[in-house]
Amino acid sequence: MKKEKFRSVLILGGAGFIGSNWARRLLETTEAKVHVFDNLSRPGSRHNLEFLQKVAGKSGRLQITIGDVREQSKVAKVVRHATEIYHFAAQVAVTTAIADPRTDFDVNVGGTFNVLESARQSGNRPFLLFTSTNKVYGDLASRNAVATPTRYFVPGKTPTDESQPLDFHSPYGCSKGAADQYFHDYARIYGLPTAVFRMSCIAGPRQFGNEDQGWVAHFLYSAMTKTPVTVYGSGLQVRDVLYVEDLLRAFEAVQQNQETTGGEIFNVGGGEDNSVSIVELIKQIEELTGERIEFERDRLRAGDQLVYITDFSKLNRLTGWKPEVNVRSTLENMLGWFKKNRELIASVRPVEPATLKIAGTEMGRTA
């Protein structure tokens, strides 16, 4: 039996939703050494670390460093011996970026630069993956969306592929877009095997969800706790949903095929078959849970895309990857996790104004 190549995997933002799921999968399915780096600013992150420690047990394969990507010397230290680096640490909310663009810039651009420079200076040429966002394509206002009773659609327009021109909107879009391009350019100029995922809506267990980040979880958990939500705009806005386990398979696919995926940018999401509008999602949640979602309306947020559906054909072509879990099954899996963790979720989802969220998953508000 062929021995697995030694892997020292660094996950920046590893105590967040995507990071903790990725760390758990690596601990359960590989022999990799897993190093989680996180500043624990996100609600639920401490619980996620406790969960990962239980998964790792006495294997000695889990290392945890509490730190911030803005701390260059600390980043350089944890990067030094990594063979793979997954950069999920970010300021994740459009609203927070508008309120505090300096912090948004320092975390998303400055932090990413620290990661890339540390990797370059290490001399090890580690594989690096960065989770970017569909927000780098702007509001897609040139697409004339037509309203139907349940969703917007764009006549004659296919899902969005990587040829869509960049059009940064909001400080968040600018910071994530700049980081996205830095990752891409470090592959071209310095030969680092980087990959960029421009992601749509990611959902699944271990996602606590709030109004600005993790909208599927936010709506589902609000239904279960009988908490009113706000729908911005008509509610006909459309996104494609990708189950987190499918995203983890995509990480595996690009890492295992880095000879062809290195230096590439990929649009990653559930695709047309897993697209859903806000009102359609509300209906599915109500049918699944038997609970009615109470909501109030507010005006459409600036820069919001009326329709965004991922064309993931490039990733499929280079690696064979495609989504396997549909929206209904995603909701069912999330509901099962909610029922087992009701008290935990309630403790980390306080009803309060959005605050700065630095480490963890990348996703900003998508609808």
Q: Which residues are catalytic?
A: 172
Residue 194 DSSP symbol? E
Report which residue type is found at 176. K
Q: Are 183 and 129 in contact (CB under 8 A)?
A: no
Following DSSP, what letter does each residue of 212-230 receive, concatenated? TB-HHHHHHHHHHTT--EE
Residue with tokens 């996100």: 42
Which residues are registered as beta bridge partners of 67?
Answer: none
CA distances from 45 to 57, 116, 210, 255, 337 (A): 18, 24, 14, 26, 16
Of 176, 294, 275, 157, give the one whose Cα is nearest residue 225.
294
CA dist 218 and 53 (Å) reads 27
Phi-psi bin for 170: left (phi > 0), alpha (psi -120 to 50), beta?
Answer: left
**H-assigned helices in 191-326:** 215-224, 244-256, 258-261, 278-289, 313-319
HEC secondary structure over 148-179:
CCCCEECCCCCCECCCCCCCCCHHHHHHHHHH
CA distances from 335 to 33, 159, 184, 286, 329 (A): 31, 29, 37, 12, 10
Residue with tokens 């649009």: 267
Q: Are 192 and 128 in contact (CB under 8 A)?
A: yes
